[in-house]
Structure 1
Amino acid sequence: MSTPSIRDVELDAGRKLRVRSWPGRGRPLVLLHGLLDDSEGWARLAADSHRPCIAIDLPGFGGSSSPTRARISAYAEDVCAGIERLGIDDCTLVGHSLGGAVATAVAERCPAVQSLVLLAPAGYGNIRLAEAIALPGVRDVAKLALPLGLVNPLVVTGAYSTFVAHRRLPSKDLVERLRRRAWQSGDGVRSAVLAISAAGRSERGFAKRRVAFDGPVAALWGEHDALVSTDHAAALKRALPQARIEVWRGMGHHPQRERPHELNQFIERQAWRARRESSARRRVARAA
């Protein structure tokens, strides 16, 4: 497995995004992680892909600065600025869970996004765990209790199999990273949970309107996903009618850890469709 390069992309007001990059050839993949994760979580997928992979620590996670506000739009604004400052003008954007909601908002704002891959994306309905944690009083208690839970592997394993993926266990690398960063996670998780909760309730949420992106979209769920229900797939299809949706049997919430090779093939099929559609649009433009 190749070692990624790590750099910080400067944002306005002295803020930054931490970015991990793996070399490759072809249209790059820009990768956005989910809640309680960071860009390291894409390492296995990057090792399996021949494409350049650019994984971003979302605001408030890993080495990135906190978001300017607890809204999905704020995360998207930072990611859009990061893509522009990295000089990326053509990419497939992949978002998992929280990162799926952010990826959807980025696709509406950033012309560099040619195709979209959403893995159990948040933002297409209410997520009960986020709603519970976002309640006044509960969120402050949760912020204080979170580090104590994350440093305990038994607590992490029990919570994962209850709230994240039924009948699945967290990967060893995820447990170790959660333990290592437990005392740095509180503020980032609190902001992200509030953003996810607000997205589920908003009258302008993705579940209540058409998303302004007309490129190819592929979405994927695992049948054992307990965090982002497969019931959200219907709302995604209404918001993005062009989306191709698959539900994989026996899989939980983290395809990039559970089935990185199959996920890479899934993304490659999407990249091929994007290339085919782009060529078709160019032929139409020349004919006109």
Structure 2
Amino acid sequence: MRNSTPRAAEVRDLTISGGRRVRVRCWMGVGRPLVLLHGLLDDSEGWVQLARDTQRPCYALDLPGFGASSLPTRPRLSAYAEAIVEAMDQLDVDGCTLVGHSLGGGVATAVAERSDKVWALALLAPAGYGHIRVAEAVSLPIVRNIAEAALPLALVNPLTVTAAYATFVAHHRLPSKDLMDRVRRRAWRSGPGVRMAVETIAAAGRSEHGFTNRQIAFHGPVAALWGEHDALVNPGHLPTLQAAIPQAHAEVWRGMGHHPQRERPADLAHFIESHAVTGRTRRRPTLRVQRAA
């Protein structure tokens, strides 16, 4: 149920090793906290609605290279995960449910393998469980340099952002206004972070030691969710996730694109509560296809 009175967020900057910064938005609440990791071209502000649809404490972090956080030390999921583990230690978060979307889903998986503070995982169209064609193409050296140079001009143009989103992210679905506004506002300083994130996603999909080639060293409850119309991290990655995380409960929501936290935040809050926060580990994977609300 959506809260009638929105909770205000406290914004904090944490300093981790090397003098780097991680920005976090904190919403106070009751119970085991949710730690929230966003996806590509987003930041911690993207979790505002979900934070309003749960009473639990929420800690939304700007991933390295996004929002107000410093760049990662290298373009690998492990580097992002190391920064998030350090930030969680500073926040004194213990026994959390870690929620990761897209790039944040891959980072969340890597964090769960490194930190005993993670008791449960909720992975929303997570990167790292298969090849993502756009990332593979943009990570080619020549294309990468051209794309980084052209990115700010492309991102400040609402028509370009809308067309790219509808084509490469969610089939014929338009981006939310708040996402477009933040992308345009940060266009001129987003290039290096986006470049490293795209390299990271491409590398994760082809790594010999990546999630596609082994089981994940995490045995707590896991809930995984895809949108039927997700064109960026499509539901075809789901079988790989179920092989890597046998206990995962997985669902594909009909009529939904790439951003459940924007398209169906109240349903997402219920999903996390039912299948991650209070979920039990399963010996066999489960899959449910849900009709659009």
TM-score range relative to shorter protein: over 0.9
Q: 1:59 aligns with which of 54, 64, 67?
A: 64
Structure 2 residue aligned with 1:243: 248
> Matched residues in 2 for 1:272 and 1:220: separation?
15
Q: 1:138 aligns with which of 122, 127, 143?
A: 143
Q: What secondary structure does 1:116 align onto?
A: strand
Structure 1 residue aligned with 2:76: 71
Structure 2 residue aligned with 1:218: 223
Q: 1:166 aligns with which of 166, 171, 191?
A: 171
Summarize the alignment of residues 165-244 of structure 1 with structure 2, pairs less than 5 Å apart: 165-244=170-249
Deviation at 1:274, TM superposition (A): 4.1
Q: 2:32 aligns with which of 27, 30, 34?
A: 27
> Matched residues in 1 for 2:153 and 2:8: separation?
31
Structure 2 residue aligned with 1:37: 42
The letter for the 1-side match of 2:83 is D
Structure 2 residue aligned with 1:281: none
Deviation at 1:18, TM superposition (A): 0.3
Query: Is 2:266 the counterpart of 1:261?
Result: yes
Deviation at 1:77, TM superposition (A): 0.4
CA contact (8 A) 1:125 1:235 kept: yes
Query: Is 2:189 the counterpart of 1:150?
Result: no
Deviation at 1:55, TM superposition (A): 0.2
CA contact (8 A) 2:122 2:276 kept: no
Structure 2 residue aligned with 1:112: 117
Alignment length, in residue pairs? 277
The letter for the 2-side match of 1:96 is H
Structure 1 residue aligned with 2:86: 81
Q: Deviation per CA, 1:86-118, whole angstroms, max 9, x where unpaired?
A: 101110000000000000000000100000000
Q: What secondary structure does 1:20 align onto?
A: strand
Compute the TM-score of the two structures, normalised by the length of structure 1.
Answer: 0.94
Compute the TM-score of the two structures, normalised by the length of structure 2.
Answer: 0.93
| Higher-helix-fraction structure | 1
Structure 2 residue aligned with 1:285: none
Q: What secondary structure does 1:111 align onto?
A: coil
Structure 2 residue aligned with 1:283: none
Structure 1 residue aligned with 2:285: none
**CA distance 1:275–1:91, shift in 2 (3 Å):** farther
> Matched residues in 2 for 1:189 and 1:92: separation?
26
Q: What secondary structure does 2:120 align onto?
A: strand
Unmatched 5+ residue regions in structure 2?
Answer: 1-5, 283-293
Deviation at 1:169, TM superposition (A): 0.6
Q: What secondary structure does 2:23 align onto?
A: strand
